[in-house]
Structure formats: C-alpha cells, structure tokens
Amino acid sequence: MTGQLLRPRLGVVGGLGPLATADFYRKTIDAVPAETDADHISMAILSVPQIPDRSGAIREGSDKPLPWLIEAIDMLNSLDVEIIAIACNTAHHWYDALSAASRAEIIHIADAAIGELHRRYKGNRAAVMATRGTLHSGFYQKRLREAGFDCRNPIGPAFQRAVDDAILQVKLGKLRQARLACAAAFELCRQDGSEAAILACTELPIAAEEVVPEGMPVIDASLALALTCIQRLRDPDRRRNIAM
C-alpha cells in the first residue's frame, strides 16, 4: 500500500495501444474543470504494450491475455486505487473475471459509451465500430440490446476492412491514412442507414479526428470512460449521471 500523500485514486490499464492510452489520459485532463495542477485526479497509468493480442485471442477461443490483465489489475490494486479503467475495449471480453479478481471497481467501457449514446441520440439504430474480437465477443451488442438499441453494422466486408485499417494505421502512427479509412467506414454507415456510431476501439477516436460526419452522433468510448471515471471520483454517492 502507498502512503496517503501519494495514493492514486484512479488506476489505468494502458498500453493497448500506447497512443490510445495517451489519448485517454488527455481526455481525463481536459474533462476536469481544474484551475491548478492539484485540482486534477491523481492516477496511476500502467502501460503494458506486451499484453498478448486481445482480438486474436478472442477469435481463437484463447484466454492468453487474461493472466497478464489480472496481474495488471493486481498491481493497481496494490496501490490502493479507488476505481480502475481499462483503456482497451476488446479487453472487456474478460471483464467478469477481472472484476472478480479486483478489490477496486472496474468501470465497464461499454456501459459508459451506451450511457453517453442515450444522452446524445434519441433514435435506436447504432453501428459499433470495433475490432473483430470485440464484435465476436458480443458484449457491446448484448448491452445495446438490453438498453433498447438496434445494433446492426453495415453488411459486407468493406465496412469492417475500413475499421480494421483505421485501427492498424493508428497503431503504426500513420494518422492521415487512419483518417481516410475511418471516413470510409463512416460513409458506409450512412449508406446502410445507421444513424449513430460508437467508436468502440480506443484507436478509433484518434482516427476519427476531423472526419466525423456532420449530424451523426458519434460516441467516443474513450471519452465516455474518462467522464465516467471522473464523475465516480467526484461524486461520493456514485449514483448521479454524468453532468459535465
């Protein structure tokens, strides 16, 4: 356990990938109405890019990333954090196992994103832009259905290829190519009749910069997670909706 002076309140499992984690950190900073450094949330970011590929493991029926994720959760718990955020959508495939292994509450990124979708979108059809592993896992689709949404991605391979390419190009640091691929995915959503979209991979908000279609509610799951974490830490009873 740390001393009270250095105790981080928020623990972050990051590095999945590194640029996406930096984006999440920036969003937590931007969302706090701080006037001094000390007004910001104290946090510990554990960046572990070596955690095995989550999407591939899910599609292969493997739990190879799980021991790594549990060790990361254990390390953050050893710092006595109050809540934990995992800056990777796909890793939430193992959410139940990770929550069972954690003293601190782990905020579910899909719940945060769907809560934001409810606030910003009054229709019921939304596309989920995500890794193939996240889609194969089905946790977004399940939660969206339970929340009253019709979750249908564009039919055909072109949409997922564009999403995959946008994610890959961010990981490669090729942001111009990432934005072109993301713009193509948005256009396919429009053509297919999707009225809203969730950026359900932490690389995608970076790819979506400057190419979000006008008039389409596009939910940034990373931002929704950051806002939820901040609200939980700023609101002692943890029951109010985000009001930021």
pLDDT tens-digit profile of 192-238? 999 999 999 999 999 999 999 999 999 999 999 999 999 999 875 54
Return the DSSP state at 213.
P
How far CA 144 is from CA of 117, 148, 192, in Å, comes to 10, 6, 19
3-state helix, strand, coil in the chain (%, to 5): 55, 10, 35
Backbone angle region of 123, left / alpha / beta, with phi > 0 → left and psi within -120 to 50 → alpha: beta
Question: Residue 2: what pLDDT?
Answer: 54
Residues of the chain above pLDDT 90, percent: 91
Residue linked to tokens 């389409």: 216
- Burial of residue 68 (CB within 10 Å: 0-12, 13-18, 19+) is middle
The whole-angstrom separation of Cα 40 and Cα 35 is 9
CA gap 32, 64 in Å, rounded: 36
Residue 5 pLDDT class (50, 70, 90 cuts):
confident
Q: Where are the extended beta strands (E) located within the chain?
A: 10-14, 43-47, 83-86, 105-106, 125-129, 150-151, 196-199, 218-220
Three-state secondary structure call for residue 172: coil
What does the pLDDT average to over 96-110? 98
Please report the beta strands in 177-239, taking only residues with DSSP state E, as ranges in sequence order. 196-199, 218-220
Q: Taking all residues of the chain, what is their mean pLDDT, rounded to a whole number?
A: 94
Alpha-carbon dihedral 61, 65, 71, 72, rounded to 10 degrees: -130
pLDDT tens for residues 123-179? 999 999 999 999 999 999 999 999 999 998 999 999 999 999 999 999 999 999 999
Beta strands in 75-221 (DSSP E): 83-86, 105-106, 125-129, 150-151, 196-199, 218-220
The pLDDT of residue 183: 98
* Of residues 93, 189, 194, 182, the one with CA closest to residue 134: 93
Which are the contacts of 54, defined by CB distance < 8 A and separation ≥ 6? 16, 65, 88, 90, 91, 93, 131, 133
